[in-house]
Structure formats: structure tokens, C-alpha cells
Structure 1
């Protein structure tokens, strides 16, 4: 085991007590708002954050072999849902995973606490005579989506009467293919005709101008399902539609910078409310995004 894999236990024992208030959600005013999914502290807090423990408004507060406590500060101007990807290398259990912690509906200017669970506590942690089991954890990535534009795959039907979300996609040899899914969860028919409207956004939710949006995916690759001719589709309650998004991560022009856009703002129809998904667009220097037309899709409940 390398020395870098184990954090000195003394760093985690600088506080006199376990993390106070662990397991609560704290708003900007400092008062507890609601309990977290599970109780109990995640280790002992430190006076100074360790390397990789602070990034983009997120700070790790405490960690042990089974969980991590963190807090998210929303520096934006609207309520947002946050997703925090952690790089996690276990000690003793030899874990090498990337758990994700989510904190929904963080008001502007507020700091809210979150928790991510990882594995089962090591029995040695229950023995007070043994040093704490400390994994090597860091914040790998932070993403935020306005709560009003959050994708919906389950739960209560949105006020719009439709769900819109993106799947995990597929990638091979630099080709990326992702599906956008639209489901009518309301009581009235929903009609789509043609292509969804999309806008690529950078990490600060600003439009990415160095991008060409194409209708269909043939100019990028064939056989992706993005080239079905557009048609008028009426979705009754419980019915759905799908549109494919296609791009390549190819760097074929050394004079250009690669185009990266974490977010994609999607409108199912020109007058529909926007939904922001997070496809992590890595378009290389091609700068082209192919968007297929809506096609009927079977929906499984």
C-alpha cells in the first residue's frame, strides 16, 4: 500500500468531537431544514480541507470508509440541483469507484449539506483502539442544473405534463450516441413534430457558440437511429417519443481548440419549457452535433 493512499489519522483527530449536526440539511440561515437519508457521522472534521476536498462551491466536511459528508454552496441566482462526482479509493477494502452525491433544490446563496454512502463500514472502525479507516477521496466534478429545468424520469408528473430526460448514451471509437426521451405523464395529448430544439452550454451555463447543430446524424455517422424523417406524433397519456443525439470526439484540426459542453438545454417543441440535461459533450475539433427527429417509443412503467 502506498503512503499516498492513507491519510495521516492525526489530521482527522484535530476536532474534539464528532461532526456536530451531521445528517441535517442546513440552509443559508444556518437552521436545520430536514434530516438526511441516514444518520451518524462520517468520520471527524478537519481544521483545513485536504487536497481535492474543495471544488466549484463544494467542500468535503468529513469522511470515513463508508460515507462522506459534504456541503454545497449555490453561488448562482436561481435554485439549483447539484450533482457531485467523487473519486474514491478505498483503504483496506480496495475500492476504486466514483460515487455521486446529489443535493436538490439549493436556494441562491444557500449552503446545504449532503451525504454519499459508499460500501459497508469496516469492522475495525468500531474498535476505539484502532485508528480510523480513511479512504483517499476527492471531488472529481461538480454539475448543477436549475431546479425549474431539471430532467424528470420518475416521481410526480411535472407541471408541464411531460417528462423529458436523457439516457446514459453509448460510445465507441470516438462516436457518441445519446437518446432524449419524452413521456406524456399528463392527462391531455401532447403533439411533437420534427426535431427537438437544443442549445449546448458550458460549465457556467453560457451558450457554446463554436458548435453547429445538424438535423439528423448522417453527416456524423450512419446507423445511429438519428436519421428517421420527421413526422407529426401525438402522444396519449403514458406514451413516449425518442430523439437521438450524435457527435464525435475527434481532434482533426490542431489549429482549433476542442469543444466541450457539459450541458444541453432541450425544448421538445419550440414553445415547450426547457429541460437541461448533462451529456458531457466532448466534440473534439469537429464542433458538430447531430439531432434526430422525434420517433414513437415504447414506454415501460
Structure 2
């Protein structure tokens, strides 16, 4: 009997643990709305009780899933503006101490003025041995007019041309972001030269003081940026590649950050706004590569 009494604190603790919600628990959220995005609840897997094998009926807690399965957050996006917007949201999955274990990017394609759209973001497999995720937060929100947002994979805009930007590459302060163009329409599409760019700040206002140079502009060699522009005709289903290159060197003066780049494939084409988040430092230069066929 004394042995049974000694187990009561253990049993009580485990009952409290499972009362928190098994197999998962919704957590109240008090974080403020970030640029129209609010996390409304977070669901975390709870330790599940299993009967013990020691003959005493002690309940043991099974380990939490190591791959992050079951961790999710419900969110809502509210557009308080006057035009339909596309939202790209970066969610951070963190420990109780705030250490970021993983992040996930979600895109909400079109939210009408005054409307609220709801969704759920889930943690993908986490690194084995990493600390336990207990929180989800909105790390960054970018918005572009829905009419200028890059089309989703498998969709073709009325222009028949799909333009997207990749995640880029960075090494020793050199940054390169690829611009990808696909002729998803039914007619040939002619290119000759360089994409036309507008650099926009956080308020979608044109950034001043940055010189856009055709070719490498001496920023770096051996990158393909100095290949001459040649006329291209893309048949339906064919693609072309361009790119942006810069260094994030920061010396005297104020560093320049460009979250948005409005791209036109050729003069007069419909614009597409991509969000490469250019950290130009104080260099004042951005190189652009001529349209070319991707290497095979």
C-alpha cells in the first residue's frame, strides 16, 4: 500500500498531461495581427499514455513524434485595403525559448477588399534531434496586387506568360535570384533583350538611387550575366531564364532593401510583381541578365 501511495503523484501528473488534450490540443493565441495575418490557434501533439509493463498499472508517456507530425496552426488573413491582394506568409515554428526550428511559406492567392480568408499551416518533417516545437509565429508578410501576383503552378494567366522568381543563391555576400518565364499560352512569344524592372519599397513606392545595369556590371564574373542578348522565340511550353545579381556590401550611408520587383518580360507586357527581398546594402547597383534559354 505505501508503494501505491508513492505512485499517486506520478499518476496525477500524467493525468494532467493527458487532460491537456490528446491526441492534440488547441492553444489560445495572444500574438498580434501582422499585416493582416493572425494566428488563431496552434495544435500540438500530446504525449499519449500507455499501460506499463511493471505490473503496477503505471501509465507511461510515449515520446512525441520526432518528425513534427501533428503540429499545425490555424490562421486568418484579412484584407483592409481597397484592392484584391495576394499574400505570401512566412511562418516560424519555434521552441518555447523562441529558437526557430523550421519555417514554412504559405501563399493566399487572392483576398478581396474587406474579406477574410482562413487556412491552416502544418510543420513538415523537422531535423532529427532538434528541440521540441511549441509555438508558431508570423515571421514575414508580403502582399502584391492579385492581378500582378505570379501564377500558381499549373495555372496560366490571360497573358499566356508565367513569370516567377526562385529562392536565389548567396555566397560570400554575392546574391543571385533567377527569373523564370514560361510560355504557357497557345502562341509563340518573342523575347529580345532584358526584362524591364521597377524596384519598389515596402509601401510599393519606387526605390530611388539604385542603378540597374544590363549584364554583370562588374559585380561578378563567370556568372553568365555578360552573355549578349539574343532574340528568342518561345513556342508554347518553352521557357526562358533571366536573373538578378547584387552584393549586400554595407559601407557608409544607409542600406537599401527592396522587397518587391515589378517585372515586365518586354515593353508593354503585363507586369508581374515578385518578392525577392533584395538586400542591396549601400552598393546602389543591381545587375540584370538577358533572357536566355535554360541550359540542358
For the criterion TM > 0.5, the same-fold answer is yes
What is aligned with 2:74? 69
Q: Does 1:270 align with 2:267?
A: yes
| Pairwise CA distance, 1:90 | 4.5
2:73 aligned with 1:89: no
Please give the alpha-carbon distance, in whole angstroms, between the structure 1 residues aligned to 2:182 and 2:134. 41
- Which of residues 257, 262, 270 in structure 2 aligns to 1:260? 257
Q: Helix, strand or coil: the match of 2:205?
A: coil
Cα displacement string for residues 228-287 of structure 1 (whole angstroms, at most 9, x for unaligned residues): 11111111111111112111100022xx11000111100000110000111110000012
Runs (4 or more) in structure 1 with deviation over 2 Å come to none
Match of residue 117 from structure 2: 112
Structure 1 gaps of 5+ residues are 1-8, 14-40, 121-132
Q: CA deviation at 1:298?
A: 5.6
CA distance in 1, matches of 2:243, 2:152: 17
Q: Distance in 2 between matches of 1:153 and 1:112?
A: 18
1:241 touches 1:297 (CA, 8 Å); kept in 2?
yes
The number of aligned residues is 242
Q: 1:145 to 1:190 in 2, by over 3 A?
A: same
- Counterpart CA distance in 1 for 2:162 and 2:124 is 32
The secondary structure found in structure 1 opposite 2:147 is helix
Q: Is the 8 A contact 1:177 1:224 kept in 2?
A: no
Matched, 1:291 2:281: no
Note if 1:98 corresponds to 2:103.
yes
Q: Identify the residue that residue 174 of structure 2 maps to in structure 1.
A: 175
CA separation in 1, counterparts of 2:188 and 2:205? Answer: 33
Q: Report the structure number with the largest CA radius of gyration.
A: 2
Give distance in 2, aligned partners of 1:87 and 1:235.
Answer: 39
Structure 2 distance, partners of 1:108, 1:116, is 23
Question: What do residues 74-114 of structure 1 show as CA deviations (whole Å, max 9, x unaligned)?
Answer: 132221111111221146xx981012232221011222212
**Normalized against structure 1, the TM-score is what?**
0.74
Q: TM-score, normalised by structure 2?
A: 0.75
Displacement of 1:178 in angstroms is 1.1
Matched with 1:187 is 186
Match of 2:276 in 1: 279
CA apart distance, 1:204: 2.0
- Offset, 1:297: 2.3
Change (3 A) 1:67 1:196: same
* Deviation (angstroms), 1:134: 7.6
**DSSP 3-state at the match of 1:292:** strand
State whether residues 84 and 111 of structure 2, in contact with CA within 8 Å, keep that contact through their aligned partners in structure 1.
yes
Change (3 A) 1:119 1:230: closer
CA drift of 1:219 comes to: 2.1
Structure 2: which 5+ residue stretches go unaligned?
1-15, 45-70, 126-131
